[in-house]
Amino acid sequence: MDSKIIVIAIGGNSLIEDSKHVTVSTQYAAAAKTAFHIAKLVNAGHKVVLAHGNGPQVGYILRRSEYSSKILHPVPLDSCVADTQGAIGYQLQMALDNEFTRLGMKANVATIVTQVEVDPNDPSFLKPSKPIGSFMDEATAMMHKENSGWAVVEDAGRGWRRVVASPKPKAIVELETIDKLINAGVIVIAGGGGGIPVVRNADGSLVGKEAVIDKDLAAALIAKHLKADYFVISTAVEKVSINFNKPNQKDLNVINTTEARRYMAEGHFPAGSMLPKVQAMVDFVESTGNVGLITDPAHIYDSIYYDAGTKIVK
């Protein structure tokens, strides 16, 4: 296969495999498993851009900030995303470098702290719905609502949560930098956690927003702008299914975007998990005419070269 541009969005299971393995060292061990498969693609001559999730890691930073609130300043959400982009990028860089050494090859990896422009009038800012941070009792939630300006909701009897907007990504601020690095042969880690949400003022200046951007939609935006040959979303299952967890469950090998839209309309994909991934894939495939793939970390390489994963075509 000739050299291809491959954008890969890895999910939380590529960094935290379960609730009992959340330390920095175990996160690195999980990242190393994913790096093994990505390094095989680089070794085959492909250009790779890697995006990643950061939900649990941002939650940990917010919890530390809450615990230390009497002695330290709070950390705004956009800074939390920036912090995790650096920390997770470091782990992925090291894991990939170690794999390259094992394979006897040389390749450069760079993490780009990535800002993603959103519309200040995005409807999600009027109705925040993305839960972040730890659970609170009602009194604490109301205190934050009054004093910190938080939007809070009661979460199915489990306690109160802060909720923030989840606007759609409009533009990648550092896209030109990513493009130059890819063309120079650098493996790029970008758009971590969906990117740092920013809005552009009338004078052209940028300002951060406390919001959460869907990682898969941001990665799809990068893939579209780079005209990637493949866009891969790595998740917890090897293949996308319809009638999931039912007696008539069916794994999907190859589907086109028309079929994907029909399955979405029929409600086969849950809103909090598979739906945004399929939406991102449909957007990418219809915009570029190229191939989208959804699979788990262990089948990333095989989804490109063999019949693993679910392939989405126009």
Of 226, 222, 221, 216, which is closest to residue 293 (Cα–Cα)? 216
SS3 letters for 91-124? HHHHHHHHHHHHHCCCCCEEECCCEEEECCCCHH
Choosing from 12, 59, 159, 208, the catalytic residue is: 12
Domains in the chain, CATH or no CATH each: 5-110+171-313 (3.40.1160.10)
**What pLDDT score was predicted for residue 13?**
61
pTM of the model: 0.92
Choosing from 47, 224, 239, 277, the catalytic residue is: 277
Of 113, 88, 112, 111, which is closest to residue 208 (Cα–Cα)? 113
**What pLDDT score was predicted for residue 158?**
81
Choosing from 47, 215, 224, 311, the catalytic residue is: 215
Known catalytic residue: 215?
Answer: yes
**What pLDDT score was predicted for residue 132?**
82
Residue 253's identity, in one-letter code, is N
Known catalytic residue: 13?
Answer: yes
Instruction: Give the mean pLDDT per block of 10 residues along the chain (314 residues).
Output: 94 76 88 94 97 89 85 91 96 97 96 97 92 84 87 85 92 96 97 96 95 94 96 94 92 96 94 89 96 95 95 96
Choosing from 13, 98, 108, 256, the catalytic residue is: 13
Known catalytic residue: 209?
Answer: no
Choosing from 11, 53, 54, 130, the catalytic residue is: 130
